[in-house]
Amino acid sequence: MEKIRILIVEDCQITAKTIKKSLMSLGYDVIDMVASGEAAVYSCFLHKPDLILMDIEIDGEMNGIETADKIRVSFDIPIIYLTALSDEDTLSKAKVTGGFAYLIKPFRKRDLYANIEMITYAHQMKKKAKENEIKYRNIFENMFDGFAYYRIIFDEESRPIDYVFLEVNDAFEKLIGIKRKKIVNKSIKEVFCLQKQNKFFTDIEIFSEAAVDGKEIHIKEYFFEYAQKWFSITISCPQNGYLSTLLTDITERKKSEEKLKYLTFYDKLTGLYNRAYFEEELKRLDTSRQLPLSVIMGDINGLKLANDVFGHNEGDKLLISIAEKLKDSCRSEDIIARWGGDEFVILLPKTDEKATEEICSRIMDACIEENETSINTSIALGRITKKKIDENIHKLLFEAENRMYKNKLIQSKQAHEMIINSLKNNLINKTNETKEHMENVEKIALLMASYLDISETVIHELRLLAEFHDIGKIAISNKIANKILPLTEEERELIKQHPVTGYRIASSSIRLMPIAEAILFHHEWWNGKGYPLGIQKDEIPITARLLAIVDAYDVMVRGRIYQKPRNAYHAIEEIKRCAGTQFDPELVEIFVKVMEMQAVG
């Protein structure tokens, strides 16, 4: 006699081990021990236990009662609740979810044994009773399932060739969407050909297969999609030339199964397989028949920047975009999974090094193409191929991951430069931050620097600052950035965040890191009334103080969507007026001198 296979769902490891020891001493087989509802559902998929011992209070998002409810929808497995609680409310909820028994902890071994034996026996009897009920069920109008009774039409060699409806119930009529008067006394072929609904019974062999000799009744189920619904058909073996079928709408059950299967095996965001599924497939495909077996590991460049600058919605869009490009670059038989936050893994059965390299090239090319996300990014890859069966696939996977990280380090500078340049180009395209504005700001700033005793390093920073000081505006929506009407208070506050965003962007780039602080402070005022931090005077880096003057001047003479351009004279007078409040007064004097020299020149 086969041992009863039991799943333990208990978040206390000591209690779980104690129960397991008791069960094994009683001759039962403990197939798994899990601590959460999610793990219990997954274990049911994998192991299909005969019985579940479940604590009501367990780890995870679902308690034992909620977990039992999910299991009840998709599995026919008896459950014994284990709990330290004995209140009526808990007991009532447990009964609703179909719990078969209720043991209060601590319990004796013999009580556990008695409950398991009784519940298992009762469940087996219930299954047998259900089978008998299906076998001998008669037509009645109020049943939920559809029921039909047929007369078999035989050919000259006593082979069934068609079936005539003798009677159907209301449920059958509603499920298939055909009125009873168009069904009764007509053959299956006639009914469904007339309605052009051949998908319902597309193959008469379904019935022919059931039409076998013998007195026993054989029940078979067939699952198929019809009219956006799923049904199971239970077919009885014909007796005396007659046949009956039971039609059950299992659409909700199928949806539940598919949803559970999806959550178990797929990454919710990208639609790719998840790590758990990949690891199972790795075990399955790690055979000599699949050699050479190749693995590609990938890590997205710039995901953290996308999340920091644009928010996690934009980061999610980037992940989805990369996932789609991976699918487009790989073959249908390849297993593509999300390995971690910004990492992906691809399993390539029967794929040698050359073919793997070609797939990597396709992925690299696809990932640097322009897309709908705000950041044009790339992906670092590491690949390896298993050629001999005695090679350890997990060591090879680890080696592929190391190669990926090595390539990421090598490509890091280039990748970040590509991202920064794409951000700058996108900024130019979506706002009034033109190349001419950047060039003019740089020109005047360098002329002012020539009057100051500053190093070549600071001069280099000024060049970069002229080009990237407003890079943070990339995170501002086009609607606000290009608005003609006056901004609302909320919109002004959003725009005031662009120095902080620019600081984050610059801090992520080795090239721009020296000017990150100047970007953060280039809208601070000499009198401390600027933003974002309200610092003042020499607390503001000289590069930021100098740029603030030149930027304000060039914006005034060029104008904005919401502001007409001023002539140079009036713009200089406005700068002079703001000396000592918004701008460093000493730098304003140098600016005026430079502009006068420019006018003379």
Phi, psi of 380 (to 5 degrees): -90, 135
What is 431-600's CATH topology?
A: Hypothetical protein af1432 (1.10.3210)
pLDDT over 80 at 94, yes or no:
no
Identify which of 74-78, 153-157, 221-225, 271-275 has the greatest average pLDDT: 271-275
371: pLDDT confidence band, cut at 50, 70 and 90?
Answer: low
444-453 pLDDT per residue, tens: 999 999 888 8
Distance of alpha carbon 397 from alpha carbon 386, whole angstroms: 10
pLDDT digits 0-9 by tens, 561-590: 667 788 888 989 999 999 999 999 999 999
Q: How confident is the model at residue 358 (pLDDT cuts 50, 70, 90)?
A: very high
Q: What is the domain partition of the chain in residue ranges?
A: 5-135, 146-253, 266-421, 431-600
Residue 261 has pLDDT above 80, yes or no: no
Q: Which amino acid is at 252?
A: E
Kindly indicate the confidence band of residue 381, based on its pLDDT and cuts at 50, 70 and 90.
very high
Pick from 275, 299, 281: nearest CA to 348: 281
| SS3 assignment for 520-542 | HHCCCCCCCCCCCCCCCHHHCCH
Pick the range with the lowest mean pLDDT from 313-317, 483-487, 571-575: 483-487
Q: Does residue 221 have a pLDDT over 60?
A: no
The answer to whether 29 and 5 have CB atoms below 8 angstroms apart is yes
Question: How high is the pLDDT of residue 193?
Answer: 61
Class of domain 146-253: alpha beta
Q: ω before 78 within 30° of 0 (cis)?
A: no
In degrees and rounded to multiples of 5, residue 80 shows phi and psi of: -110, 120
Count other Cβ atoms within 10 Å, centred on residue 334.
Answer: 17
Mean pLDDT over 127-155 rounds to: 73
Question: Cβ–Cβ contacts within 10 Å for residue 576, how many?
Answer: 15
- In this predicted model, what pLDDT tens digit does every residue of 384-426 receive, in sequence order? 999 999 999 999 999 999 999 998 888 777 777 777 777 777 7
Whole-number pLDDT of residue 256:
82
Segment 77-82 shows an average pLDDT of 87
Return the top range by mean pLDDT from 252-261, 352-361, 420-429, 551-560. 352-361
Which pLDDT score, from 0 to 100, does residue 86 have? 59
Model confidence at 162, in pLDDT bands (50, 70, 90)? confident
Q: Is 46 in a helix, a strand, or coil?
A: helix
Q: Is the pLDDT of residue 481 over 80?
A: no
Give the pLDDT mean for 20-27. Answer: 91
Highest mean pLDDT among 176-180, 495-499, 537-541: 537-541
CATH annotation of 5-135: 3.40.50.2300
Residue 210 has pLDDT above 70, yes or no: no
Q: Output the pTM of the full model.
A: 0.52
What is the structure's pLDDT at 370? 62
Q: Which CATH superfamily is domain 266-421 in?
A: Reverse transcriptase/Diguanylate cyclase domain (3.30.70.270)
Contact 504, 473 (CB under 8 A): no
Please compute the mean of the pLDDT values over residues 467-481 and round it to a whole number.
Answer: 81
Mean pLDDT taken over the chain:
82
Tell me: pLDDT of 214 over 50. Answer: no
